[in-house]
Amino acid sequence: MSEEPPHTEPAARRRLGLEIWIVLGLSLGMSAIYSVVSIIAKLTREGGLAAQTSTLNASRSVRPYLDLTYQLLDIFSTLIPVLLVLWLLAGDTTRWAARLGLDRAGRWRDLAHGAGLAALIGIPGLVLYAVGRQLDITTTIVASGLDEYWWTVPVLVLQAVKNAVLEEVIVVGYLMNRLRRLDWPWARVIAASALLRGSYHLYQGFGPFIGNAIMGVVFAEWYRRGGRVWALIVAHTILDIVSFVGYQYLDHLPGWLGLS
């Protein structure tokens, strides 16, 4: 990844640190807090994690078109923090898209890299989920709780794209760039990105926490070595589409990744 020089003035560093906390408080940082509360609640219920279920795409209403409206509003509202961080990054440089790897250059290469990353993460993720279930450290993951309507698959695909854009832009593109502006060493930057990714999946159990943290290390290190956020978005989208749509229509096969 290309970088801007670190901030050296104390006032600028404080302002940037506050900006990071505000962004995370409006997005995935708050999700992480809710996830911690959720895992505590599940651990203290009768039967522990093994008896609990985590539904990733829940129905919001028994009325189909009202449910569709809620789903679309959720997708739109969740992407607002992405617009915020892109606006903030654009204030640093006019080349913010190229710096993040969100420009149009190399789009076919991004597709190929994204597919490769999805394969690299997907198969071990299935194994880790199965092991987590056997060890009773992972909840049963219901990747789709939607009824079957004409709009179900399009909404699940949109949810997958939304998750990918939200997580990869904020957890990788934004957070890693901002922490480097604070002159954090690469090891701390990658650890922070990976732990954040794992933490907001903790409501699914400790298996998904570990799996997503490992995924976070792989994605962050790949990005550090010159990767592009577009490729990460492609990889994450593929993983979630397989998880969501596959669960919906393949007889609810066990072992889905739970990466969202």
Identify which has the larger pLDDT, 28 or 250: 28
217 and 190 Cβ atoms separated by less than 8 Å: yes
Would you say 111 and 226 are in contact if contact means Cβ atoms under 8 Å apart?
no
Which range among 49-53, 147-151, 193-197 shows the weakest confidence by mean pLDDT? 49-53
pLDDT at 251 > cutoff 90: no
Tokens 């997580």 identify what position?
Answer: 167
Residues 89-110 have pLDDT tens digits of: 998 777 888 888 898 888 899 9
In which element (H, E) is residue 100 found?
Answer: helix 96-100
Count the helix, strand and coil residues of the chain and give each as a percent rounded to the nearest 5: 70, 5, 25
User: Which strand (E) or helix (H) includes residue 54?
Assistant: strand 53-55
Mean model confidence pLDDT for the chain = 90
Task: Give 1's pLDDT tier (boundaries 50, 70, 90).
Answer: low
Of 176, 198, 203, nearest in space to 187 by CA:
176
Residue 81 CA to residue 59 CA, distance in Å, equals 23
Burial track 190-206 (b if 16+ CB lie within 10 A, e otherwise): bbbbbebbbbbbbbbbb
CA dist 142 and 161 (Å) reads 18
Whole-angstrom Cα distance, residue 68 to residue 164?
Answer: 20
Spell out the residues 6+ positions from residue 141 whose beta carbon is closer than 8 angstroms to its own. Answer: 53, 54, 56, 129, 204, 208, 256, 258
Percent of the chain at pLDDT > 90 equals: 70
